[in-house]
Structure 1
Amino acid sequence: MRKLIALLCITGFLISCGGSKKVTSTRTERTVPRRTTVTKIERTTKETTLKEPSREVRKPLPAASYNDKVKRYIFEFSDIAKNEMKTYGVPASITLAQGILESGAGHGELTQKAKNHFGIKCHDWEGDRVYHDDDRSQECFRKYDQASDSFRDHSLFLKDRKRYSKLFTFNQKDYKSWARGLREAGYATDKKYPQKLISIIERYHLYEYDNDVLGRTNRRRENKAEAVVVMTPAPVSTPTPNPSGGHIVRKGDTLYSISRRYKISVQELKSYNNLASNNIKIGQILKITAEEEEEDFN
């Protein structure tokens, strides 16, 4: 009996285990890989630079050399210097050399501010003025409206002052004596001032402008003056020295020979005596100096 019950239990157990067991069907699916077509797109990346309209790059012009500045100065002012020589007797070479030296060939600060080409200080000047450092700080200098006014004032400055009167006893072609005379008369304090003027005159052949003014015409006039026949009205006694300091014309005298004797120009001699021609008479008294004037510049 016990064996029967045990058998039934085992049989029931086995049946229960078989009913609950699930049948699992394992199917392995084979995955077929898909063909992927890759289209390779190549992109060419170009850098596009927007260019501005082409502009010509201008190189700065080289600064003019001192030599170029001097040549430009001579070209611009030589005619003015020659006219001043014709009118007042100051050699054009001296005027140009002083202008070049004093004004830095037209580029000096004083010339730029005041058109003062010769460094002329105020003194008795009643016109416009500027102040500029020179021998001393903030000295007074004359100011002009235009460069030609400066050249004219330079001529008058030398002509009207007694301290420069000796200059006009020199030959107008003797620029060396004029250069030294300016220094001796106190125009400049620089001891090498004459040498500087002479160097400029000779380097740039400024004496040629003196020749332009004087030329052959002037030499002919001088020769003609020497050839003038002295008019002899009637025999006169041997002239005696003139107590007034003038010159008493003697036989054989000419304006040229008299001017050379007293180291003045023929034109000055005629001016002192209000002569319209070169004719003079024996016994005539000629003034050999200008009338005395008060010194207006120290």
Structure 2
Amino acid sequence: MNKFYLATLLLFINFYVSAQNNPEKLYAEKYGEMAVSEMKKTGIPASITLAQAIMECGAGKSKLAKQANNHFGVKAGRSWQGERFGNFRKYESVEAAYLDRSNFLTGRKNYASLFKLDPCDYKGWAKGLQRSGYAASKRYASDLIKCIQRNQLYNWDGEICKEQPVILVSDSLSAITASIVDEPENQPVVSEIKPVYHKVKKGESLSTVAKKYKTTVSKLKSLNSLHSVKIKPGQRLRVK
């Protein structure tokens, strides 16, 4: 075996083993697709969603996450009609927690400025969350950015931003091994169309949005992982 490939393989084995012992990376692999789904529906960067969850619930290891499926530390408050876990909201599933957190950001005026930002600009979103008063810590934005960078969470934004593919740690070793055994031929570069988003205005329906962009309701539902035709003002929809 070529010494270069052997060294590369050993490097990735070491990386793979260390990654398996990293709860933050394991959390991202487990819930990354869920964060991407919310990004498609709302425009909130998947990297931001994952970083907030990792910081708030200790990468899924906190008591609140394990017993209440609350991965974002959302408190119940007087208006909360669901189950409670102490002073916090309790969810039937982690997916419900992710959806509720998206609704929390999209439904409040103080976060409206965030949705004017590029969904691929995770640094801008981190700073915007801090400016909007999401957390009291003055280091909140920098902590979010550091979490994203050390775990390469920006890769999860790539599925929508078309910057780079999502690469799971569990896939890395097999990919390198395959390249050693059978080196792939050069592949043609295929240019991809940058996605287009629309912010829902008052009075608009999924049908009127589809008509505006000369597409179909079913196509919009597919692009945004929608289970119904219900949309609301301020919601960010991918239309192309």
TM-score, structure 1 normalization: 0.51
Identical residues among aligned pairs (%): 39
Unpaired runs of 5+ in structure 2?
Answer: 1-17, 164-189, 215-232, 235-240
Q: Which amino acid aligns with 1:94?
A: I
Give the helix-richer structure, 1 or 2.
Answer: 2
- Counterpart position of 1:129: 84
Q: Distance in 1 between matches of 2:28 and 2:161?
A: 18
State the partner residue of 1:68: 22
Q: Is the 8 A contact 2:19 2:25 kept in 1?
A: no
Q: Is residue 155 of structure 1 aligned with residue 90 of structure 2?
A: no
Q: 1:214: how far off?
A: 2.7
- Report which structure shows greater RCO (CA 8 Å, sep ≥6): 2
Q: Deviations over 1:51-89 (max 9, x none)?
A: xxxxxxxxxxxxx99961112101110010000111111
CA distance in 1, matches of 2:43, 2:155: 15
Structure 2 residue aligned with 1:108:
62
Cα distance in 2, alignment partners of residues 162 and 272 from structure 1: 18
Find out whether 1:197 has 2:132 as its counterpart: no
Change in Cα spacing, 1:166 to 1:69, as seen in structure 2 (3 Å) is same
* Structure 2 letter corresponding to 1:91: P
In 1, distance between residues paired with 2:60 and 2:36?
18
Corresponding position: 1:173 with 2:146: no
Instruction: Report the equivalent of 2:49.
Output: 95
Establish whether residue 267 from structure 1 lines up as the match of residue 198 from structure 2: yes
CA contact (8 A) 2:19 2:26 kept: no
CA distance in 2, matches of 1:164, 1:66: 35
Q: Give, in whole Å, the separation in 2 of the partners of 1:219 and 1:160.
A: 32
Say whether 1:278 aligns with 2:205.
no
Q: Which runs of 4+ in 1 moved over 6 A?
A: 216-219
Q: Deviations over 1:172-197 (max 9, x none)?
A: 11111111111121211111111110
Structure 1 residue aligned with 2:193:
220
Instruction: Give the whole-Å Cα distance in 2 for the aligned partners of 1:127 and 1:218.
Output: 47
What's the secondary structure of 1:267's corresponding residue? strand
Is the 8 Å Cα contact of residues 35 and 46 (structure 2) preserved in structure 1? yes
> How many pairs are equivalent?
168
State the distance in 1 between where 2:69 and 2:194 align: 37
Q: Secondary structure at the match of 2:85?
A: strand
Could you tell me whether the CA contact under 8 Å between 2:43 and 2:119 is conserved in 1?
A: yes
In the other structure, the counterpart of 1:44 is none
Partner of 2:88: 141
Q: Which amino acid aligns with 1:166?
A: S
| Residue range with higher mean Cα deviation, 82-91 or 269-278 | 269-278
Unaligned runs of 5+ in 1: 1-63, 132-139, 226-265, 280-289, 292-298
Kindly tell me: are residues 88 and 218 of structure 1, through their superposed partners in 2, closer, same or farther at Cα, counting changes over 3 Å? farther
How far has the Cα of 1:119 moved from its partner? Answer: 0.7
- Give, in whole Å, the separation in 1 of the partners of 2:191 and 2:74: 31
Compared with structure 1, are the counterparts of its residues 166 and 128 closer, same or farther at alpha carbon in structure 2 (3 Å cutoff)?
A: same
SS of residue matched to 1:76: helix
- Backbone CA RMSD of aligned residues: 2.8
Give the SS at the match of 1:189. Answer: coil
TM-score normalised by structure 2 residue count: 0.63
CA distance in 2, matches of 1:177, 1:184: 10
| 2: CA distance, partners of 1:111 / 1:272 | 37
